[in-house]
Structure formats: structure tokens, C-alpha cells
Amino acid sequence: MRLLYCLLIVVLVGCGGSGGSSSDADPITPDPAPDPTPDPEPGPLDETLGTLITRAGLSGDAAFNRTLPDIADPLPQLGKKLFFSKSLGGEFDSACVSCHHPALGGGDNLTLPVGVGAANPDLLGPGRVDDNLIPDVPRHSPTVFNVGLWDSGLFWDSRVESFGKEAFANGSVSDIRTPDVAFGLADPDAGPNLPAAQARFPVTSAEEMRSNFLAGETNAALREHLAARIGNYGAGQGELLSNDWLAEFQGAFASTADAETLITFDNIALALAEFQRSMVFTSNPFAEYVNGDLDALTNQQKEGAILFFQTVDEGGGGCANCHSGDRFTDELHHVIAFPQIGPGKGDGTDDDFGRARETGDDNERYHFRTPSLLNIAVTAPYGHAGAYESLDQVLQHYDNPGNETEDFFDAGGVCQLSQFEGVPDCENLYPAAEANTELALQKLAEERNSGDSLFENPNLNGNERADIVAFLESLTDPCTVDRDCLAPWIPTRDEAPDENQLNAVDAGGADL
Ligand code: HEC
Ligand code: HEC
């Protein structure tokens, strides 16, 4: 569906193209390899890689067998306006897009997000700060691209989780657990799929969107109030200066019902979900290669792909042990022991217990959901705490987690990260970070000793790491670095039916 849109754009203005974009500002697309033969026979690299691709069972279409909405559909259009609306922020200063902008890879390009209280609420990405310069949100903001492709759970710890995890269903077939209910229970209000269930939560987080608005009241009461604000009824009446949302909802839901009936939080969450589910960015050079275009990858990328898919015994990186399938994730949780920085979700210890915090099972301490690697070139920084700013650091970590984390702390821990430049007394911000990371490393060592870890030491040299990085970059959809191609997911300046649309700018004041 989006492909169709892009095709249309290609005809009109050019859609970034695939594989060989000519723009030299484009950091993603590798220089097209000089190619002596226009239609080459498969070389030895192609034969090895082809065998590995078959073994990995890849289809070349990460969105295979899914029914996902088109951004031109009415519900995603409504969802777009809500996603960009500060009216869903308790104090009108934060929107979903504050941490998930399409032009920032569907995230915020920060180590840790800054939600409410930003000095300039409309400034997104590097330079977004609140008054003490210290980000308050405990985990790195993951991309919302391809969120319609998860079947198991959302969040780094899958605390929004499908019971049945049915393939291709995005959580729509069986019950869903959310943080509103205890682990193992179904949330009767979760809605039709994982993204709809997830969309009920950012508005309830004081750091992300809520501030102190209705502090102490239940999540349900808060959501009802926000719906009433958007719908201009009951307790929320008159909270917006201008309000034309009813017409938008009536159009999107093809209904003439009144605001109380139509503008409920369930319907807000549904529209937000449909908007996000329309963000399918799965066309990339590697997928083209899997589909038979042997020229779509450079030789270096082919070498990197081979290393990625080969097991450690075969001399590779063993990456596909966890980053498996067309989306490069098993949707399971593992300990990798990336540096533990920031306030974390460890109940006041600056630690982050990961999956164990949900399941209560200490064996899952420091386990995080395997990220998809699609569009990885535009979603830095990396990991649940955003500690690594480059893919090279990630690869060095896989090579030797103990050394790389030690280097990270020797180089100043968070203080070396661009987001923490100029933070006063930075060295003393998270005094337990190194010790907490050490605990995660110990957990990894225990699991390795007992044979429970899929993470083997790959022993990659510098060239091999660079090859893998080159391969990883080929997993990025050219549309994600092309503002024109992204335009359908970004509202024009005055599209919202009230005064609170977030029109994002970068630190230099340029429109995103
Ligand atoms: C202040 C920043 C911030 C704001 C505002 C925000 N998010 Fe997020 N979002 C995050 C962070 C951080 C996570 C990961 C949290 C975790 O895993 O514990 C996340 C996770 C998600 C995920 C899960 C992605 C995945 O791969 O599992 C989705 C979907 C999402 N957010 C959508 C939304 C929507 C919809 C809104 C608005 C209602 C929103 N976010 C507002 C920071 C933010
Ligand atoms: C044991 C399972 C496992 C193996 C093997 C594995 N990974 Fe990962 N990978 C993960 C998990 C889990 C995370 C998230 C860790 C965190 O957030 O703390 C991750 C994170 C990443 C990230 C950062 C993604 C992001 O969006 O933040 C990259 C890049 C990555 N892995 C690449 C690789 C490469 C390349 C290899 C092979 C050398 C590899 N992984 C091997 C499980 C694995």
C-alpha cells in the first residue's frame, strides 16, 4: 500500500529510490559498487549467502501476510492528528510525537527521552532538554516504525503482551495483558491489538505526558478526562481554545454519533494504533537482495550478512540466534548486558530489572526484548538505555561485553554521551551504573556457564565488524531518510482541529 504511494511519489517528485539513491547527503545508501557486468551470475558470496538465507527461512518481505492500514485511510489520518497533539499531554506540553517522530527514525534520537517540562516543547531530538538538563524517562524510546509487525509484546520488557502470540496477528487474536493488570492476567480494556493496548499508557506516565495532571487519580479516570477534553464534554469541556475534533471523529468512524459516544479513550487509542500500524517501512536493499536482485548489496554487505547469519562455530557472529526472521527478532528476551545507565526501571536503584520486573522471575533479570534491526541506521542510540551511540560500539560489545562496558565507563559513562554534554556534576548522576552493569555481566556469565545463553563470543576482527555494520545499514528503508517520502505521516502546519498541534523543529530551528 505504501509502496503504491511511493510509486506515485516517484513519478511526481522522486521517493528516495531504493538501493542507489544519488544524494550524497544520504548516509544510508552505500556507494553503488562499480559493476562490470550489468546482470551478473551469482558469485561465490551469493552462493554462500543464498544458502544461509534459505536456512534462515527468510521471505524477503517482513510485512508478509499482514493486513495493515494505509496512511491515506480515515482512521490513520485521525490517528496522525492525535499522535501530534499536545492536547493528550496533561499540561499540554507533550505529545506522542515528542519521542517518536517519523523524521527521527520513529524515535527521538536521544539516549533517554525528555517528555514533559521541555524548555521548548516543540524542539525534538538532540537539544531537547528540560530545566535541569537531566532526562527523566527511564528507558530509550524505541521506534514506532513497523509496530504492526510485532506479535508477542510491546515495550523493552513486553509488559503489553499477547497471550497467544499468534503469527501475523499483532496481538489481535487472543487476550492482551497490560500494566493495568497483574502479570498473567488479561486486561479487559486492552482493545483490539498490541499498539491499541500500548497507546493507553504514555498519557498516564508523569514523565512522558501527564505531568501532575490529575495526580493520584486512576489511569481510567485520567483517560476519561482526556477523552472529555478532546470531545469537549463533561469534566473536559472548554479545556481547548478551539475544538473541531467531533467532525474529525465522525469522519474517521463514518458515524454521526455525538462526542460522548464517539470520542472515548478506546477510540483515541484505536486511531493512534492505526496511524502507527500504517508506518510500514520494510523495503530495503537486503530485502531486494533476498528477492533476487543480487546487485542490491555491495560485496562488503554480503560479507557482513554471511557473518551475521553464520553461527559462531562456523566463524560468524551468531547474530541470527536471536535476531531471526525477516524482522530480525525472535521477540524473546535475553541478557546482553549493555551498559545500565539512567534512572532505569529497577524500583529506585538506578538499575533496570528488565523482563524480571514483569514476570517476577529472577532468572529473567536484565533480559530485554530483542529489537528488530529494520531501519537500524536511523534509530540510534541503541539498547534499552540508549548507551551506545554507534553500531560499531554495539559490535564491539558483542565481541567482548566485559571490555566494551569497561571502556564505556572508563570514557566517562553517560558524561561522554552527547545528550549529557554540559550536565552539571555529570560524573555523580548515576553512581550505581557501573556496578549495575557488572551485575548484568555476571548474569550473562552465569547463563553462559549453564548453557542457557544464545549469546556466544563471536571473536570478530575489526574488518568483520565493519562488514556487519555495512550489512546492518542495508536493512534501512530509504523512505526513512527521505522527508518527502515521510510526508504522509507528518501533518501540515495547521492540520489539527485545535491549537495544540506539535509542529516539530530541530535544535537549529528548522522544521522536521
Ligand atoms: C517522553 C517520551 C515518550 C512519549 C511522549 C511517548 N513515548 Fe512511546 N515510548 C517511549 C519509551 C521510553 C518507550 C519504551 C518504554 C519501555 O519499554 O519501558 C516507548 C514505547 C512505545 C511503543 C512500543 C514500541 C515497541 O517496540 O515495543 C509504542 C508503540 C509507543 N511508545 C507509542 C507511543 C504513543 C502512541 C504515544 C502517545 C500516546 C507515546 N508512545 C508517547 C517514549 C515515549
Ligand atoms: C542472545 C540473543 C542475541 C544475540 C546472539 C545477538 N543479539 Fe543483538 N540484541 C539482543 C537484545 C536482547 C538486544 C537489546 C539489549 C538491550 O536493550 O539491553 C540487542 C540489541 C542489538 C542492537 C541494538 C538495537 C537497537 O535498536 O537498540 C543491535 C544493532 C544488535 N543487537 C545487533 C546484533 C548483532 C550484529 C549480533 C551478532 C554479532 C547480535 N545482535 C547478537 C539480542 C541478541
In tens digits, the chain (512 residues) has pLDDT values of: 444 444 444 334 434 333 333 344 445 555 555 555 555 689 999 999 999 999 999 999 999 999 999 999 999 999 999 999 999 999 999 999 999 999 999 999 999 999 999 999 999 999 999 999 999 999 999 999 999 999 999 999 999 999 999 999 999 999 999 999 999 999 999 999 999 999 999 999 999 999 999 999 999 999 999 999 999 999 999 999 999 999 999 999 999 999 999 999 999 999 999 999 999 999 999 999 999 999 999 999 999 999 999 999 999 999 999 999 999 999 999 999 999 999 999 878 899 999 999 999 999 999 999 999 999 999 999 999 999 999 999 999 999 999 999 999 999 999 999 999 989 999 999 999 999 999 999 999 999 999 999 998 888 999 999 999 999 999 999 999 999 999 999 999 999 999 999 999 999 999 99
CA-112 nearest atom, ligand 1: 12
Facing residues of 176 across strands? 162
Per-position DSSP letters for 178-225, written without gaps between them? -TTS-TT---TT--SSHHHHHTTSGGG-IIIIITTTTTTS-HHHHHHH
Q: Among the CATH numbers 2.60.40.1180, 3.40.605.10, 1.10.760.10, 3.20.20.70, which is that of 74-279+483-489?
A: 1.10.760.10
Q: Cell numbers at residue 512, please? A: 522536521
CA-158 nearest atom, ligand 1: 27
Which residue's alpha carbon is nearest to atom 19 within ligand 2? 370
E strands present in 341-442: 368-369
Q: Cell numbers at residue 167, please? A: 503469527
Q: Cell numbers at residue 196, please? A: 491499541
Distance 472 CA to ligand 2 centre (A): 11
Place of cell 547527503: 25
Q: Which amino acid is at 63?
A: A
For the chain, give every residue range classified as CATH 1.10.760.10: 24-30+43-62+284-476, 74-279+483-489
Distance 371 CA to ligand 2 centre (A): 7
For the beta carbon of residue 255, count every other beta carbon within 10 angstroms: 12
Place of cell 542510540: 381
| CA separation, residue 125 to residues 107, 121, 161, 426 (Å) | 9, 11, 29, 20
| CA separation, residue 416 to residues 108, 377, 389, 401 (Å) | 19, 21, 10, 18
pTM of the model: 0.93
CA nearest to 228, candidates 264, 272, 269, 267: 264
Indicate the CATH number for domain 24-30+43-62+284-476: 1.10.760.10
Question: Of 319, 321, 453, which is best to mutate to test ligand 2, by the most ligand atoms within 8 angstroms of its C-beta?
Answer: 319
Q: Which residues of 299-335 are buried (b: 16+ CB within 10 A; e: fewer)?
A: ebbbbbbbbbbbebeeebbbbbbbbbbbbbbbbebbb
| CA gap 307, 319 in Å, rounded | 8
